[in-house]
Structure 1
Amino acid sequence: MGQVRPQDYRPAPGYGTGPGTVHGGAYRAAYTAVPPPRASAGMTALVLGGGVLAFVSLFLVLPFLLENTGPGGFVVGFIASLLPLGSVLLAVRYIDRWEPEPKRLLLFAFAWGALVSISVTMLIQPFFSLAAGPASGLDYRTFAVTVQAPVVEEFAKSLGLLLLLLFARRQFDGPVDGVVFAFTIAGGFAFTENILYFGRAIAESSTPGTDLAVVFFLRGVMSPFAHAIFTGTTGLILGFAARRWHSGLTLLAFPVGLVPAMALHSGWNSMGQDFLAQYILVQVPLFLLAVLVVVLLRVAERRLTRQRLQEYAAAGWFTGQEVAMLATPAGRRSALRWARSIGRGPQMRAFLHAATRLAFTRQRILSGRDVPAHQLDEQRQLAEIVALRDAVLR
């Protein structure tokens, strides 16, 4: 994650005196003079467009759910679906806490998964069935479960990922970002799908309590992360493609990323009478592998942060002790405890997050992508670092 081509390397701006250096006071003055950066036109269009699509989709998705679950089933299904959704969002919070994504983009991702991707699925499925069903040679139920659902649903969910990458590329610049956005989209999709399944268990059963318990155990306990893992593979691949931004590479990475997502989804839906054996022997190891990938990504993210902040330390912006504090979980916890003890916890948290953003801004500069724009961000963020350090230590 931290590899840089020699031709793209640029030294960090210096702090202090001498040729090629700048004073912290000058940056502090710049910080007070330069307004915070506005959201890009692409991000604004993405969020507004996503909001409109989500609102329109509501008029398609909500009647469909009510028709299949009834009012009572819908209410019970909605409440029950909050529990598995909570586990996915907690995982997103854990993965995303090092360099948090903008809340507006996370909201876009959730709305896309919960409403827009459901609408896209409902609209595309009939045409896909007519086009590909007869050619598959499968009976309709087998085709719908093992081919149609994986292909159409993963395409609908991952389309939101592609839009995030195209219109908010400055916030989507690595595999961790890809996994965070993918998990959020998938969590929204699973939330709406669970309302349907849980509500049907109430509306269509003579023993609704028992059937709801069974369905909830299968979907809410055994597989709350199924959709997240499927779509997470697409987000991971798009995130690696984003490390070297190129529109052609991104468009190529999109179908490549869909392949493992669709394959995993189809494998899950294909489990039949030997469900328990396949779950233990295949799905549990896949879940553990996903956990391992997330852990490794977070380790790589921390190493990247440390590597880039050390370059700023060499230029005089941080001490070695500050880098250890800013780039390690133990250092951050210790710093927050100390800051809270003197009533400056929010200031310290802002300082930690600002330093992490600065490290990733430098990584974008060294990747050779949008260098002038990111150098302006770097100047503003260095000024912010100076001001936030003053706020903590004053």
Structure 2
Amino acid sequence: MSITTESATPESRELLERREAAIEESGWGSRFRLFQPRNLCLWVLVLLLLMGARQLYGIAAPLAGVFADADLAAVASSGVFLLVFVLFLHHADRYERTPALLAVTAFVGGGIGATWAMALPGNAALMDLYAKLFGQAWASDWKAGLTAPFVEESAKGAVFLLLLGLAPFVIRTVYDGLIVGAYVGLGFQVLEDMLYGQNAAYANFGVDQVGAVLQTFFIRSLSGIASHAMYTAIFAAGIIYLVGTRAQPRRVGRGLLLMVSAMVVHGLWDSMLALANDNGFVVSLLMLGITVASFVVLLVALRWGAHRERGWLHDVLAPEVANGTLTDLELAALAGARSRRRKDRKAAIKHRGDGVSRRREKHLLAAGLDLAHDLSESHGNESPEVAHSRAEIQRLRTR
């Protein structure tokens, strides 16, 4: 059963107005259109992709025949990592689904545009400069840690800014920046892992190509959790704070803090061997410490970003409590304070209806999120999808 504006009481009408305002402010349900011929951001992105593809082809094509096994192993292993990480991002994209076309564009832009068109030549130029200014020995120790954070995060940040220009109605919040930035960083990471795997095969002169690639993949996958996807998620969230959007007022201090934190963590990771003076035990401690620090920064960014998202989710679903689709406890479990989420979820499951199993109640909460997505896409109006989500909730609640 739904509430219409005409049949609503004053209290219900206020809930509907708050739902409409939340959807409008958040941009939830907005669609992403890539082809915008009058938008300069599109053509800059296309130029970066063409430059990156040309660079990639120039490196990979001449040796493709000789190192075909290494190339196939790199694609297969990186594909496994990509699939696992995409599933994680889909699960983390809790409040509003990122349009698939935007996620793919972010991945390709980070993988080809940022990696090959900007980062690769930028890293080479700056590393050569370090060697000339401070000598080969010093550059060998510190060039990675003092190059990659500035060049690579700037390159990925540039791609994110182009996407922000293409999707200002979709990318509005810090949480949007975290998710879309993670897709940009994931593209960068997967293409970089493939490059490292191929380089390992080249270094072995083509002997045991698959083994060399898989060994590199295994090592980089262990460190892949706290790597480019995380760095860029944090950096992009900082960009949202720095430039501001319709839904997120500018917070320059927070923005700079997140962006600098991403670069510092990235720099420390790439400087581990130099900082540890090649001591394996110290390297392990640094790896653990930097990984923990990365997660702490990410959790802070998530905490900052999720606050507004939970408020909007509450306003979108509040009328569903008034019409009996959801209960107050279920609304609290879905959109309550982060500090109480676990308790609210347990309370909703504990006080479930007669004949409803714990498993069904968990599915019912997931269906509540689906209902919020469908309401956002219909801008709060009735639609077949909204009706289906309500019916699914009713089905789960029925013995």
Residue of structure 2 in register with 1:95 after alignment: 92
After TM superposition, give the deviation of residue 231 of structure 1 in Å. Answer: 1.7
Determine whether 1:352 maps to 2:369: yes
Cα distance in structure 1, aligned partners of 2:12 and 2:327 = 22
Determine whether 1:82 maps to 2:79: yes
Residue of structure 2 in register with 1:5 after alignment: none
- 1:315-351 Cα deviation digits (max 9, x unpaired): 769654463575476769x99x98xx99xx9x99776
Residue of structure 2 in register with 1:106 after alignment: 103
Select 1:280's aligned residue among 282, 285, 288. Answer: 285
Residue of structure 1 in register with 2:237 after alignment: 236
Residue of structure 2 in register with 1:148 after alignment: 147
After TM superposition, give the deviation of residue 110 of structure 1 in Å. Answer: 0.5
Question: Match of 2:369, as an amino acid?
Answer: L
Aligned length: 348
After TM superposition, give the deviation of residue 81 of structure 1 in Å. Answer: 1.8
After TM superposition, give the deviation of residue 55 of structure 1 in Å. Answer: 5.2
CA contact (8 A) 2:110 2:184 kept: yes
Question: Match of 1:204, as an amino acid?
Answer: A
Is the deviation greater in 132-141 or in 196-205? Answer: 132-141
Residue of structure 2 in register with 1:188 after alignment: 187
Cα distance in structure 2, aligned partners of 1:23 and 1:99 = 20
Cα distance in structure 2, aligned partners of 1:212 and 1:314 = 54
Select 2:53's aligned residue among 47, 51, 58. Answer: 58
CA contact (8 A) 2:156 2:232 kept: yes
Determine whether 1:226 maps to 2:227: yes
Determine whether 1:261 maps to 2:258: no
SS of the aligned residue for 2:96 comes to coil
Residue of structure 1 in register with 2:160 after alignment: 161
Cα distance in structure 2, aligned partners of 1:250 and 1:57 = 33
After TM superposition, give the deviation of residue 108 of structure 1 in Å. Answer: 0.9
Residue of structure 1 in register with 2:118 after alignment: 120
Cα distance in structure 2, aligned partners of 1:57 and 1:136 = 30
Determine whether 1:16 maps to 2:8: yes
- 1:159-209 Cα deviation digits (max 9, x unpaired): 122223333232222232222112211111111111111112223216646
Q: Normalization by structure 1: what TM-score?
A: 0.67
Distance 1:250 1:64, change over 3 A: farther
Q: How does 1:40-51 map to 2 (within 5 A)?
A: 44=36, 50=45
Consecutive unaligned residues of structure 2, counting only runs of 5 or more, are 17-28, 336-340
Distance 1:213 1:276, change over 3 A: farther
CA contact (8 A) 2:230 2:298 kept: no
Q: How does 1:304-319 map to 2 (within 5 A)?
A: 304-305=311-312, 307-309=314-316, 312=319
Cα distance in structure 1, aligned partners of 2:104 and 2:256 = 25
Distance 1:98 1:21, change over 3 A: closer
SS of the aligned residue for 1:145 comes to coil
Cα distance in structure 1, aligned partners of 2:251 and 2:302 = 25
- 1:224-283 Cα deviation digits (max 9, x unpaired): 431122222212323445765499948998766542222222211111113552343422
CA contact (8 A) 1:120 1:156 kept: yes
Cα distance in structure 2, aligned partners of 1:90 and 1:292 = 19
Residue of structure 2 in register with 1:3 after alignment: none
Cα distance in structure 2, aligned partners of 1:257 and 1:131 = 28
Cα distance in structure 1, aligned partners of 2:48 and 2:80 = 26
Residue of structure 2 in register with 1:27 after alignment: none
Percent of aligned pairs sharing the same letter: 19
After TM superposition, give the deviation of residue 102 of structure 1 in Å. Answer: 0.8
Is the deviation greater in 44-53 or in 264-273? Answer: 44-53
CA RMSD between the two structures: 4.8
CA contact (8 A) 1:16 1:23 kept: no
- 1:55-95 Cα deviation digits (max 9, x unpaired): 55323213323457733322222222223333322321221
Distance 1:314 1:320, change over 3 A: closer
Cα distance in structure 1, aligned partners of 2:380 and 2:180 = 24
Question: Match of 2:291, as an amino acid?
Answer: V
Cα distance in structure 2, aligned partners of 1:291 and 1:72 = 37
Q: How does 1:130-141 map to 2 (within 5 A)?
A: 139-141=138-140
Distance 1:217 1:316, change over 3 A: closer
After TM superposition, give the deviation of residue 120 of structure 1 in Å. Answer: 1.7
Select 2:331's aligned residue among 312, 323, 348. Answer: 323
- 1:126-157 Cα deviation digits (max 9, x unpaired): 55457776566774434541222221111111
After TM superposition, give the deviation of residue 111 of structure 1 in Å. Answer: 0.5
